[in-house]
Amino acid sequence: MRVGVFGTGIVGRTVGTRLVQLGHDVAMGSRSAANETAREWASNQGGRATTGTFANAAAHGELLVNATAGAASVAVLRSAGADKLAGKVLVDAANPLDFSAGMPPTLTVANTDSLAESIQREFPALRVVKALNTVNASVMVDPGRLPGPHNMFMAGNDDAAKATTAGLLREFGWPANSVIDLGDLSAARGMEMYVVLWVRLMITSGTADFNVKLVRP
């Protein structure tokens, strides 16, 4: 599948590398087509990935992954162009973290709205699925690095887009029964707000390499 990955940070590079390993045709998008981080990443993908602007990555992908900083995501997608986003599935892995007051961060949007909903409102023809944002990059693409079962959450308004996302998660190694569909995209509020707890757990644990498992009777 042709995938456009927005963002050259640890999430974009890790997800991009995993997608290439899985045989997908990946374009990594960034603000500048000359982005050195993106080029260095692509040079290690055995010729199976390209780089370019956000618009290039959007045009390339049948499936898109938002791995940009949440506070910048809407502007990034605007620069990609609504016409290139229309009809496509966007897996929104970003969190609207605000580090302007240092650690721990707050959220730029929360409670009565979410980043994922902000994106969906701005691009109604984009099929936004919130997923991946509740774990670090390593766990996203290799859930088996943690012992035993644990869970991935997903939310979105488009069932077919969620099925596509669930397929991607299975490729990453998430068993079908580990993925919890929380319903429509307003559930992204809880998924993003959970990240404030996640950051505290990271600080307390001294590692970002963890996740939660739902325990039921």
Complex with a copy of itself: residue 87 or 204, whichever CB lies closer: 204
As a whole number of angstroms, the distance between CA 104 and CA 165 comes to 30
Smallest distance from a copy of itself to CB 51, Å: 32
Smallest distance from a copy of itself to CB 134, Å: 9
Distance of CA 16 to the CA centre of its chain: 11
> Site residues (CB under 8 A) for a copy of itself?
104, 106-107, 110-112, 145-148, 150, 153, 155, 180-183, 186-187, 189-191, 193-194, 196-201, 203-205, 207, 209-217
Smallest distance from a copy of itself to CB 106, Å: 5
Smallest distance from a copy of itself to CB 5, Å: 26
Sign of CA pseudo-dihedral 195, 183, 166, 38: negative
Q: Which two tokens stand for residue 16?
A: 């991009």
Complex with a copy of itself: residue 38 or 116, whichever CB lies closer: 116
Smallest distance from a copy of itself to CB 89, Å: 21
Complex with a copy of itself: residue 63 or 132, whichever CB lies closer: 132
As a whole number of angstroms, the distance between CA 216 and CA 27 comes to 40
Complex with a copy of itself: residue 36 or 183, whichever CB lies closer: 183
Smallest distance from a copy of itself to CB 123, Å: 23
Distance of CA 122 to the CA centre of its chain: 18
Complex with a copy of itself: residue 40 or 149, whichever CB lies closer: 149
As a whole number of angstroms, the distance between CA 174 and CA 22 comes to 14
Helix (H, G, I), strand (E, B) or coil at 31: coil
| Location of structure tokens 């979410």 | 114
Residues 6+ apart with CB under 8 A from 109: 96, 115, 118, 192
Complex with a copy of itself: residue 111 or 177, whichever CB lies closer: 111
| DSSP H or E segment with residue 172 | helix 159-172
Distance of CA 52 to the CA centre of its chain: 19
